[in-house]
Structure 1
Amino acid sequence: MSTLAIFGYGPGLGAGTAREFGRNGFRIAVIGRDPVAAAERAAVLRAEGIEAESFPADITEPAQLSAVIAQVEDKLGPIEVALHSAAAGMSIRSESTRAVDRAALELPLALKVYSSIQLSRELLPGMIARGSGALLFSSGASEANPQPYLANVGVALGAQRAYVRQLAAEVAGTGVYVGLLGIGALIENSAVQREVDAHPELIPDGLVLPRIGNAELGARYWRMVTERDAVEVEIGF
């Protein structure tokens, strides 16, 4: 049985992807900052007949990311597919593009760029040696469609996208797939969806956010891994 490790597992994207891959024979490593939440989410998957284990870690901390990769592979075997889906709530957003400074970029870069690079560097050697594997990443609307109230996040997503595109080109022919899913909608059941519904004032007046189910996202990631015909895929735009 192959292992899917979800780095930054949440009730939206993470849960939808875990269910899709679990139904297709994967065991799931649930990796999240909150040990209690991670354990509960793994238990939900097991109750649905999917083999799952929880591993608490803050993947923006390099030492914790290295440690949790080792823990997952020691317990569940080599990671065949890794999904980097770490995200943050609306509280980290910048007020405008002109308001972005170094401090405003620290957490977005740690979440979407630095941890993506470290994850790739640690998992790629084993995947290339085995001649198989997949590195999956998630992106959002604030890079593809400029949204000043999310400008700092958009900057980080732009850097992540450039890295993923270059990485995919370099590993072509090794048996390893690298893919980025750009999500242009609010994910149902996600923490951000609940935050926006509770505080609609967080969204600029007149902006209507489309919504998408997490099952649809999981199915799209499955197609990306099995078909391997595109590095960048967009959904919900």
Structure 2
Amino acid sequence: MSLPAAAPDRTALVTGASSGIGAEIARELARRGHGVTLVARSAAKLEALAAELGATGVRAEVIACDLTDRAARAGLPGAIEGRGLVVDVLVNNAGLSTLGAVAESDPEAEMDMVELDVVAVVDLCSRILPGMVARGRGAVLNVASTAAFQPLPGQAGYGAGKSFVLSYTQSLAGELKGTGVSATTLCPGPVDTGFGERAGFSKADAEDALPKIMWVPAGEVARAAVDGLDKGRLVVVPGAANRVAAAVAQVTPRTLLLPVLTKGHPAFKNR
């Protein structure tokens, strides 16, 4: 199974496209001739990326949207249809993480994280997949993390959310067999995108916790993601070290794994 062919009335919807992996996936899709619809809260960053992609001759439009807002999110498919476009590729990339023990957490921040990392993925899939199935073509890429393969003390909600995305997308793939629509999960390891800093820990702390061999550039992650999507792969884990680490994490007893993960996490560095 391959990506649907690009066409003037078709678009690839990429959420969280203002920076990092999302922006690089948009660039990679554009390089392959796909028009893109860029979604995030930061209109200025999206406009800059749209101008960059438009200069290459590819159609790129911007929809500034806070994806934690259910009403705003529900309006996305209609806004795209209003531009005479159908979504043939859906990339659910937008996400955030909190940092620290659940017992010390801010409930509102935790709920915002779950809304973006989990609920928005389900919402957009539920709204957009019916059209794909009716047309007999389409591809969904849901971005999880190597955190999906293990518990993550210090980022408990984030790790659990990514486990949800992995399981959910694998189930979608089973449901979609024979429809002409594919579903792929991207599970990157550490990537230098500023994501950690926004969560509350420094790049230095992250590099102390995660060996250099595990870090993969955002552009390389995006290429692996779109290649995997084009080949109809179920799960894409960029980087050999990350694939090994994910496999080991899945078979290691939790009683052995949890103390190591807790001790090594930046959230508990000074405890």
Give the alignment's TM-score, normalised by structure 2: 0.76
CA offsets 1:46-98 (integer angstroms, 9 cap, x no match):
2344321111001122211121222123215101001000122x5x22x2366
SS in 2 for 1:212: coil
Q: Which residue of 2 aligns with 1:159?
A: 164
Listed as ranges, the matches of 1:28-177 within 5 Å are 28-88=36-96, 92-93=98-99, 95-96=100-101, 105-177=110-182
Question: Cα–Cα, structure 1 residues 135 and 42, in superposed 2: closer, same or farther, change >3 Å?
Answer: same
Percent identical pairs in the alignment equals 25
Question: Cα–Cα, structure 1 residues 198 and 150, in superposed 2: closer, same or farther, change >3 Å?
Answer: closer
Q: What is the alpha-carbon distance in structure 2 between the residues aligned to residue 184 and residue 203 of structure 1?
A: 11
Q: More deviation in 111-120 or 37-46?
A: 37-46
Q: What is the alpha-carbon distance in structure 1 between the residues aligned to residue 131 and residue 107 of structure 2?
A: 35
Task: Say yes or no: does 1:233 pair with 2:236.
Answer: yes
Greater strand share, structure number: 1
Question: Cα–Cα, structure 1 residues 184 and 200, in superposed 2: closer, same or farther, change >3 Å?
Answer: closer
User: Which residue, 169, 185, 189 being the options, matches 2:190?
Assistant: 185
Unaligned stretches of 5+ in structure 2?
1-6, 243-271
Question: Cα–Cα, structure 1 residues 65 and 152, in superposed 2: closer, same or farther, change >3 Å?
Answer: same
SS in 1 for 2:33: coil
Q: Which residue of 1 aligns with 2:250?
A: none
Question: Cα–Cα, structure 1 residues 15 and 211, in superposed 2: closer, same or farther, change >3 Å?
Answer: same
SS in 2 for 1:75: coil
CA offsets 1:176-204 (integer angstroms, 9 cap, x no match):
10110100122x4x232665999346549
User: Which residue, 196, 199, 202 being the options, matches 2:202?
Assistant: 199
User: Which residue, 211, 215, 221 being the options, matches 1:211?
Assistant: 215
SS in 2 for 1:152: helix
SS in 2 for 1:217: helix
**How far apart are 1:205 and its partner, in Å?**
5.3
Question: Cα–Cα, structure 1 residues 15 and 104, in superposed 2: closer, same or farther, change >3 Å?
Answer: closer
One-letter code aligned to 2:140 = L
Q: What is the alpha-carbon distance in structure 1 between the residues aligned to residue 84 and residue 19 of structure 2?
A: 22
Question: Cα–Cα, structure 1 residues 212 and 132, in superposed 2: closer, same or farther, change >3 Å?
Answer: same
Q: Is the 1:8–1:59 contact (alpha carbons within 8 Å) kept by the matching residues of 2? A: no
Q: What is the alpha-carbon distance in structure 2 between the residues aligned to residue 30 and residue 148 of structure 1?
A: 33
Q: What is the alpha-carbon distance in structure 1 between the residues aligned to residue 226 and residue 216 of structure 2?
A: 16
